[in-house]
Amino acid sequence: MKKEAVGMMAVNSTAGSFSSFQQFSIADLIVIVAYFSLNIAVGIWSSCRVNRNTVSGYFLAGRDMAWWPIGASLFASSEGSGLFIGLAGTGAAGGIAVAGFEWNATYVLLALAWVFVPVYISSGIVTMPEYLQRRFGGERIRMYLSGLSLLLSIFTKISTDLYSGALFVQVCLGWDLYLSTVLMLLVTALYTIAGGLAAVIYTDTLQTLIMVVGAIALAIKAFNEIGGYLNLEEAYLKAVPAKIVPNTTCHLPRADAMHLFRDPVSGDLPWTGMTFGLSVMATWYWCTDQVIVQRSLSAKSLSHAKAGSILASYLKMLPLFIIIMPGMISRVLYPGLRGLMIAVMMAALMSSLTSIFNSSSTLFTMDIWRWLRPRAGERELLLVGRAVTVALVALSVVWIPILQSASSGQLYGYIQAVTSCLAPPVTAVFLLAVFWPRANEQVRAGDRAGDLVRGRASGGWSTQGDVRGARCCANRDATHGDVRAARCHANQWVTRGDVRGARCHANQWVTRGDVRGARCHANQWVTRGDVRGARCHAN
C-alpha cells in the first residue's frame, strides 16, 4: 500500500480536472434525495415544537433549548462549506498548522460559557449590540455594531459559503453554478423563514450528525488508501503536481508541513500569531458574534448553555483528523464516496447559511427596525425578520460573481484576511464592557471606541492617564488633586481617587472600593471584573 500511494504521486488529483459527473451512480442520487427529504422533515417537525408567533419564540426558540442541540448547532454553525473546502485546501497546500484555527476554539468556547454567557443571560438581551447599548448607553454604538455585523455576514460568511458549496456541487454534479446555488437557497430558506431559530438549531443537529459521520467515513477511506499517518507524511512531502508554474517553488510541499507550531519569523502560520493573535479573532467570533451567542441565549438555563459549549469544544477537535488530513491525502490521491461527500458538503453549507440568515434577521429586526419604529408590534417584527432573510439571500447571490473573480483558491485565507482587520476593535469593546467596570462612558465615549482607545472623547471630555485634572464641559469647573480622573457625562460627574470606581447610570450610581463586582438593577446590566459571576436581579 505504501508503494502504491507513493507511486500515485506522479498522477495525483492536483494534476488536472476529472469527470466526476460521469461516475455518479443511482446510489449517490438516493443518498442526496434522502438527505434533502430528512432535512425538510426535521425542519417542519422542529417548527411545530415552538410558538413561532412571538419574538422570543421565533428569534430565541422560546429560551427552552437543551444542551445537546445547542452544542451541535454551535459546531454546525461554524463548519460552513467555505471552512470545509478552505481547511482541506489549506491543509493540502500547507500542512496541518491550519488546525490551530479549530483547536483555538476549544478553550474560547469555555470562556463563552463561563465568562460571557452569564453576563448576557443576566442582562436579558436578544442581540449583542443591545448588550452594548445597555452597558454603555446611547443608540449609536448599537447601530454601528449591527451594521458592521450585517456587512460581515454578507461579505465574509454568506457569499463564501454559497460560492464554495455551489462550486463543489457544480464540479460533482455538473450543474450550473447559479442553478445549484438557487436550489440550495430555496431549501435552506424554506424552514429558516418558517421555523425561526428552533428549526435552525434542530436541523443543525441533523447536519452535525451527517457532517461528522460522513467526514469520519472519508477519513477512514483516505487513510486506508494512503496506508496510515506515517505513509501520509512521506507521500505528502514528495507529492508534486504534474502541472506547475515555471520558475516558482509554490508547488513544492513545505518542509514544516507536519508541524503544528511553526517558526514565528519564517513560518506561514507562526505559532505566535496562531496562539495570541488568533485568540483575539476567536474571542470575537465565539464570544461576541450574534450567530454563535444567539444559540447560547436560547438555552433553558445557564447549565444547559455551559454543557452545550463543552460539547461544541470537543467536536472542534475533530476537523484536524476528518477534514485537514484528508485534504492533505487528496494531494496524493482522490477518494470516492461522492454521494455521501456531497451530502456532507450540503450539510455544512445549509447549517451555516440557516444560522447566518436567522441571526442577521434578528440583528436587523431587533436593533435597526425597532429603532426606526419603536412602536412596532410582534407581528410586524416577525414579518420584517422573514423579509430580511429573503433580502439577504438575494443580496448574497449578487456578490457571488465578484467573489468568484477576486478570490484565490485558498478560500479560508480570504475570510480570515477580512475578519482579522475588523475583529480586534469589536473584541476590545466587549472585553472592556464585561471585565472593566470603569468603562462606563454612556454618551459619546461609548459610541466612539476609537476615541476611548486613544484617550480622547470628542464629545467634550478627556482623560489622560495620571493627569491630575479633568475637565467638565457642561458648564462645570475642573477638579484637581490626587483624584485620577473626573468625567462629565450628560451634566453629571464622577470622581475617582483610591476608590476603585464610581459610576453614574441614569441618575443612579454605584461605588466600588475593594468590592470586586458592581451591579446595576435599574437598567438590567451586569459587569464582570475579578468577580467570578455577577448577576442582575431585576428580573
Residue extents of the structural domains in the chain: 2-253+284-426, 449-516
Q: Which residues contact 10 (CB under 8 A, 6 or more apart)?
A: 242
- What pLDDT score was predicted for residue 200? 92
Q: Which residues contact 191 (CB under 8 A, 6 or more apart)?
A: 40, 43, 44, 46, 47, 199, 200, 203, 354
Q: What sign for the dihedral angle of Cα 430, 421, 353, 71?
A: negative
- What pLDDT score was predicted for residue 324? 83
pLDDT band at 474 (very low <50, low <70, confident <90, very high): very low
> Which range among 107-116, 222-231, 413-422, 453-462 shows the weakest confidence by mean pLDDT?
453-462
pLDDT band at 521 (very low <50, low <70, confident <90, very high): very low
> Which range among 50-54, 324-328, 403-407 shows the weakest confidence by mean pLDDT?
403-407
| Greater model confidence, 163 or 357 | 357
pLDDT band at 331 (very low <50, low <70, confident <90, very high): low
In whole angstroms, give the CA distance from residue 324 to residue 340.
18
The cell numbers describing 452, all together, are 476611548
Contact 456, 449 (CB under 8 A): no
- What pLDDT score was predicted for residue 526? 47
Q: Which residues pair with 503 in a beta bridge?
A: 510
pLDDT band at 464 (very low <50, low <70, confident <90, very high): very low
Contact 116, 434 (CB under 8 A): yes
Contact 157, 86 (CB under 8 A): no
- What pLDDT score was predicted for residue 489? 34
The reported pTM is 0.74
Nearest CA-CA partner of 91 in 327, 329, 250? 327
Give whole-number Cα distances, 443 to 152, 317, 382, 450, 472, in Å.
26, 43, 31, 14, 14
pLDDT band at 510 (very low <50, low <70, confident <90, very high): very low
> Which range among 86-95, 317-326, 410-419 shows the weakest confidence by mean pLDDT?
410-419
CB atoms within 10 A of CB 412: 21
Average pLDDT, the chain: 73
In whole angstroms, give the CA distance from residue 3 to residue 235.
9
pLDDT at 367 over 80: yes
Highest mean pLDDT (candidates 195-209, 256-270, 471-485): 195-209
Residue 477: CA atoms inside 13 Å, Cβ hemisphere, count? Answer: 2
In whole angstroms, give the CA distance from residue 66 to residue 336.
36
Region 93-99: mean pLDDT is: 85
In whole angstroms, give the CA distance from residue 423 to residue 308.
24
Nearest CA-CA partner of 35 in 47, 25, 27? 27
> Which range among 38-42, 303-307, 401-405 shows the weakest confidence by mean pLDDT?
401-405
pLDDT at 241 over 80: no
pLDDT band at 206 (very low <50, low <70, confident <90, very high): very high
Q: Which residues pair with 488 in a beta bridge?
A: 493
pLDDT band at 342 (very low <50, low <70, confident <90, very high): confident
pLDDT band at 300 (very low <50, low <70, confident <90, very high): very high
In whole angstroms, give the CA distance from residue 50 to residue 382.
14
The cell numbers describing 264, all together, are 514565528
> Which range among 182-191, 299-308, 330-339, 460-469 shows the weakest confidence by mean pLDDT?
460-469
- What pLDDT score was predicted for residue 405? 66
Q: Thinking of the domain 2-253+284-426, which architecture would CATH place it in?
A: Up-down Bundle (1.20)
> Which range among 67-81, 245-259, 413-427 shows the weakest confidence by mean pLDDT?
245-259
Contact 78, 319 (CB under 8 A): no
pLDDT band at 396 (very low <50, low <70, confident <90, very high): confident
Region 267-294: mean pLDDT is: 89
> Which range among 80-94, 133-147, 252-266, 481-495 shows the weakest confidence by mean pLDDT?
481-495
In whole angstroms, give the CA distance from residue 9 to residue 293.
45
Q: What one-character DSSP code corresponds to residue 502?
A: E
pLDDT at 71 over 90: yes
Contact 202, 183 (CB under 8 A): no
What region, left, alpha or beta, does residue 425 occupy, with left being phi > 0 and alpha being psi -120 to 50 degrees?
Answer: alpha
Q: Which residue has the cell 514565528?
A: 264
| Greater model confidence, 413 or 532 | 413
Region 289-312: mean pLDDT is: 94
- What pLDDT score was predicted for residue 463? 32
In whole angstroms, give the CA distance from residue 47 to residue 393.
21
Highest mean pLDDT (candidates 197-201, 224-228, 258-262, 513-517): 197-201
The cell numbers describing 102, all together, are 479549530
Nearest CA-CA partner of 133 in 502, 380, 468, 443? 443
- What pLDDT score was predicted for residue 459? 34
pLDDT band at 253 (very low <50, low <70, confident <90, very high): confident
What is the percent of the chain where pLDDT is above 90?
Answer: 20
Enclosing H/E stretch for 509: strand 508-512
- What pLDDT score was predicted for residue 251? 64
Q: Residue 135 phi/psi, 5° resolution?
A: -75, -45
Region 52-76: mean pLDDT is: 90
Enclosing H/E stretch for 521: none
